Amino acid sequence: MSNTEILIQSLNIIQSKIKGSEVENTSSYHNLSNWRFPHEIWRTARNVKNLLIALSFIGLPDFQQNEFRTKAHKIAEKYSFQGEWASVEELLQLNNIAPGQIIAWYLKTHSPEDWFGDTLRRCIKIMKSARTYNPYLPSKHKVRIPERKRGYDDKGSLPRYDKLGKEYYAVPDKEKTVLPDLNNTPFYPTWYNQENENLQGEKIGKSHFPDHKEVTTICQEKKI
């Protein structure tokens, strides 16, 4: 099964499974509406990776996708890109996040059985959990007031400061990377844009702006 066949079959499965959910037609929502996902999704690298894959199929505006990608990057950076967080960072560094490119990246290290058997099912579950909200409306949740108390709960838990070595106070430098900007990345592949430009050129035909040499020739012929 080719990547194109896997993509077409995946799109058909997703469309049949997300009917009735808010992500069925993201373009029908106002631009002021923000999207959010359950908090438990951000707790594990596996869920965050599936969320990033799901975002490529949902089709949210670039600025909203950048918000989720930035949050995922900060969490992966917190864990120093160790373990499965390394694959999260690898996914974040892709310059093209179109569904076909995401599937091609996934199939480099996984089989189609893994994709249809587990990953796609989890991604659909994440898609259906997405909710919209208006950030400009006042929150209906009760405001939590912090409780004030005197003293600390961990009295005597630390040894004397003069008994600790310098390595106790040293903070290791964490590895940092920069995310690619989605606003400068075309959603459609290069070959599609080239064919579209050729098609538009055929429609225009001879209706183009003359250059300086053509203008000079026309003026000489008409003795302007």
Model pTM score: 0.64
In a domain, 170, yes or no: no
In a domain, 132, yes or no: yes
- pLDDT score of 59: 77
The continuous run of DSSP H or E covering 46 comes out as: helix 45-58
User: For 128, what's the count of Cα atoms within 13 Å in the CB-facing half-sphere?
Assistant: 13
In a domain, 89, yes or no: yes
d(CA 94, CA 1): 24
In a domain, 9, yes or no: yes
The continuous run of DSSP H or E covering 35 comes out as: strand 34-36
Question: What's the chain's average pLDDT?
Answer: 75
List beta partners, residue 132: 35
The continuous run of DSSP H or E covering 52 comes out as: helix 45-58
Place of tokens 């490119």: 101
Residue 202 vs residue 181, higher pLDDT:
181
Instruction: Inform me whether the pLDDT recorded for 203 exceeds 50.
Output: no
In a domain, 200, yes or no: no
In a domain, 91, yes or no: yes
Tens-place pLDDT, residues 148-187:
776 666 555 555 555 555 555 555 566 667 777 665 555 4
In a domain, 146, yes or no: no
Instruction: Inform me whether the pLDDT recorded for 197 exceeds 50.
Output: yes
Cα–Cα separations (whole angstroms), residue 200 to 190, 191, 193, 197: 15, 14, 11, 5
In a domain, 61, yes or no: yes
Residue 189 vs residue 91, higher pLDDT:
91
- Identify which of 64, 54, 61, 63 has the alpha carbon closest to the alpha carbon of residue 103: 54
Q: Domain count for the chain, please give it.
A: 1
- pLDDT score of 114: 92
Residue 35: give the domain boundaries.
Answer: 3-136
